[in-house]
Structure 1
């Protein structure tokens, strides 16, 4: 492989858990030939793209990240992502606790996730700068307050789109079951028996209601859990078992698919900042 081809595949990733209430994770990345599969987060995803652009689907609608915007993706809403050009994209992400913004704002965030606001963009950049310097936690908290205030300024409470009434209770029960058994896991037959539905109908109801298949939802929740454990200093071998993966190789395969780098490399980026 030529040097040019190697460079096209380079991915730089840095992630850490700051000691700032409300911020679950800080994630900086440069991706070239990489696409996120459909997945969910249990946190609010606050994203800025510094170079390039991202195309993504959110709630079955296509969106993009034009230059200078701030993107806010709500928790539990499936989305994916891929670079618009061969040059890829460079992004900075803050994962905010679910309670950082009121759930009544989820509908507005789904309808208009990309916000054109130079002041908000500047405040998010200032927050990232503060989070990168241990000892500046008070400044980071103060800047986070201003960011949340600006986000509320843009968003107005709107009703969250609901699935068909016949599908909603069944899909919700399965999601609750998957959330309860993220690490333990559950077979489709067991789930169908517990929620009293035919397996095929159960899969269709969940996919129709939430825009993601049950197995994709469960795997993305496991990867999310693994990220938190890795950033807390747990070794990948232990993380695999605690997150519900068969072994470390199983964790690595799915972690690379969702995050773009192996779990060991992801953990080392956090260790280098402590």
Structure 2
């Protein structure tokens, strides 16, 4: 959902079908200032233009370009532009309930250090936003969310003795490939796959990528496109091919088909020589 005003202020907000993300919020504000308020979610914020200044737990903070800000649930904060031209931001509201991306033990560290200068984390968050904006790419978004939260944990609690990362598991990778093949059209959520295969989502994605040189969502998309090619050459209309191969809709099919094949589905379907 997008909305704008005469002042040039704009917002876009939606609720993605990705477990752990309760809302995506993009905004361009020139004059709006947030009063003190709280959320029942984690607020993960990046600023693309300008800067935001805010108070958290009676301490002043800011978001210069390149900073990642993580505001914990139930902790009052405000917010306003730190420059005359306002700011443009992208926000993810992450579930704070038990089983969410971050548990309550991270609230204290986030209060102490809400602003993180971390280019890798910021790049991962940008990639996550891009995936969340594309309906049908929920498996990719879930994988990217896993790596974002993993990086947040590393930054917020670096002194804790974390268990070493496990080496990639080829058996686990093969099991995931079998699952993806079996669920080619309906698909499978990353959390469901991890539960079925008794693996942590990040370890599952890393094992698959190391074994096959391709991420799980890329593998699934490529298999779907292959099936779409066969149906198109059999004369099935492109409008019917998308749902038959697991794509969200025809634009979703077209985007990935053109990227992998080099031409749109409709043109591909009519490329066969006449007999």
Hey, what does 2:113 align to over in structure 1? 112
Residues 161-240 of structure 1: pairs in structure 2 closer than 5 A: none
Give the distance between the partners of 2:139 and 2:101, measured in 1 at CA: 17
> Which of the pair has more CA radius of gyration?
2
What is the CA RMSD across the aligned residues, in angstroms?
Answer: 1.5
Hey, what does 2:124 align to over in structure 1? 123
Hey, what does 2:57 align to over in structure 1? 59
Give the distance between the partners of 1:104 and 1:156, measured in 2 at CA: 10
Give the distance between the partners of 2:89 and 2:156, measured in 1 at CA: 23
Q: Normalising by structure 1, what TM-score?
A: 0.54
Q: Return the offset for 1:30.
A: 0.1
Q: Give the aligned length.
A: 152
Give the distance between the partners of 2:49 and 2:55, measured in 1 at CA: 20
Give the distance between the partners of 1:135 and 1:83, measured in 2 at CA: 34
Hey, what does 1:73 align to over in structure 2? 71
Give the distance between the partners of 1:66 and 1:152, measured in 2 at CA: 22
Contact residue 104 and residue 157 of structure 1 kept, 8 A: no
Partner of 1:138, secondary structure, is helix
Identify the match of residue 32 of structure 1 among 30, 33, 38: 30
Give the distance between the partners of 1:51 and 1:96, measured in 2 at CA: 23
Q: Tell me, which stretches of 5 or more residues in structure 2 are unaligned?
A: 160-275
Q: Return the offset for 1:157.
A: 8.9
Partner of 1:100, secondary structure, is coil
Give the distance between the partners of 1:75 and 1:124, measured in 2 at CA: 19
Q: Normalising by structure 2, what TM-score?
A: 0.54
Query: Which has the higher relative contact order, 1 or 2, with Cα contacts under 8 A spaced 6 or more apart?
Result: 1
Superposed CA offset, 1:152-194 (max 9, x none) = 0001299xxxxxxxxxxxxxxxxxxxxxxxxxxxxxxxxxxxx
| Stretches (4+) displaced over 2 A | none
Hey, what does 1:245 align to over in structure 2? none
Identify the match of residue 93 of structure 2 among 92, 95, 100: 95
Give the distance between the partners of 1:13 and 1:67, measured in 2 at CA: 20
Q: Tell me, which stretches of 5 or more residues in structure 1 are unaligned?
A: 1-5, 159-274
Contact residue 107 and residue 157 of structure 1 kept, 8 A: no
